Amino acid sequence: MAPSFQVHLLTPERPLYEGQGTSVSLRSGEGDIAFLANHAPFIGTVDICVVKIERDGEPTLYAAVHGGFVSVARNEVRVLADVAELANEIDLERAKAALAKAEAAGSHTNDSVLEASLRRAHVRISVSSTLAHSTYVA
């Protein structure tokens, strides 16, 4: 049984998860990082990525996050996301259509805009696919 800590995954619209976790993994501006209980204080950006929240005795939560910030202090992790979706909220067909549209845009779109669109679509598909292979229950 790993020590747990408070986890908040929040968007401007609503909290997606507020509860206990034993590990939070994400991609920050500095690279991939995982937070465990009693982690040193940290503030950083969150890239377009999969956020994985492991919970003791409960299914792991996966969310597609499209940027934001993370803060760690006093045994609490807060992920403040610009946009985020839990695995069970993602429409896989819509995500695949967004990927196809971004790929078709190709050279007609600013490279950074195209890259961000492709990354968002890939993350959404990855998170949705994770749900299909897990025991996640909302």
Pick one of 3.30.565.10, 3.20.20.30, 2.40.110.10, 2.60.15.10 as the CATH number of 5-87: 2.60.15.10
Look up residue 4 and give its two tokens.
Answer: 């747990």
Q: Would the pLDDT of 62 be above 80?
A: yes
pTM of the model: 0.83
Work out the percent of the chain whose per-residue pLDDT is above 70. 91
- What Å distances lie between residue 71 and 26, 28, 39, 65, 112, CA to CA? 12, 11, 11, 15, 26
Q: What are the boundaries of each domain within the chain?
A: 5-87, 90-132
pLDDT of residue 100: 81
